Amino acid sequence: MDVFTQKPFAGNPLVVFPKADGLTDQEMQAIAEEFGMPETTFILCHTQPRIDYALRIFTPVKEVPFAGHPIVGTAHIAVTEGIVRTQRPRSVLYHQTGVGVLPIEVIYDGKEAPRIVMTQSKPLILSVLNQKELTSVEEALGVSDRDLIGSDSPPRVISTGLQQLFVPVKDLETVRRLSPNLDKLKAVEELLGLTGVGVFTTETVSTEALAHLRFFAPSIGITEDAAAGSAAGGLGVYLAVTHLFPEERLVDFCVEQGIEMGRPSMLYVSVKLKDGSPETVKVGGYCVTLASGTLKIP
């Protein structure tokens, strides 16, 4: 399937196994490696009250506790395949992830498929980089100080489930010409305890979007992500605390991603503020199912 798009062969690809009970950890990891998608998810039964299902998320190289497009895509499959029941025009599901139980909204708004909206973990505004760390990031990304916005909006580590670094640059051209040194970028992730680095600008291709994002996570086997829901949520937090957008425009906005990969994606972000600080972050979008089948395990 493709996630964060309404058109096939765009957005971020995902494989979902809706009946994964009985698979071992080793089998799940082997399946994810076999398919080679950015992530592969496995839906598991759950017996606790108020939890509709559990899911596990694997990249080709490791399991991750939380990720945006796998959670949104898995919910789409759970709904469209009848694993869970929903009511129109809106239902709320609860699923068990590696970072706890999180709600998922299923919104029927007249489109062919429902919009799936995930609530992310409590926003955490973490460190600003020191000069040595910043230099390592710039070398890994192939940018310089003059490409960055400036001291008022420094690169910063944010978490809405995963610790990620967000690097603001001045213009669209800088983002589009990025060609990171992935070995150096992986070293930066390991040094700072990150799961990915997002580079963004407020100059966009689409008039619908308010930010243009590219996201790289070589430490988990993702050279570049076409649509990173976790990063879109973290970006919303970054924009709120640095006031790059007027506060009233941060209620709901769109992030465009994947254009450089030929897989344009649109992610809908909502940031709820309390006393000027981000309190709740939601990221949503649409999905397209492409194929279904059966995998036989020897």
- Residue among 234, 248, 252 at smallest CA distance from 276: 248
- Residue among 14, 171, 149, 146 at smallest CA distance from 77: 14
For helices 182-192 and 131-141, the axis angle rounded to 10 degrees is 150
For helices 229-242 and 68-80, the axis angle rounded to 10 degrees is 130
Q: How far is it, in rounded angstroms, from Cα 50 to Cα 60?
A: 31
Q: How far is it, in rounded angstroms, from Cα 132 to Cα 272?
A: 34
Catalytic residue of the set 27, 33, 34, 39: 39
Structure tokens at 288: 């397209």
Strand stretches in 109-251, DSSP E: 115-119, 124-128, 156-159, 163-168, 197-201, 211-217, 222-225
Q: How far is it, in rounded angstroms, from Cα 208 to Cα 190?
A: 35
Map tokens 């309404």 to a residue: 6
CA 236 from centre of chain: 12
Is 39 catalytic? The answer is yes
| Residues recognised as catalytic | 39
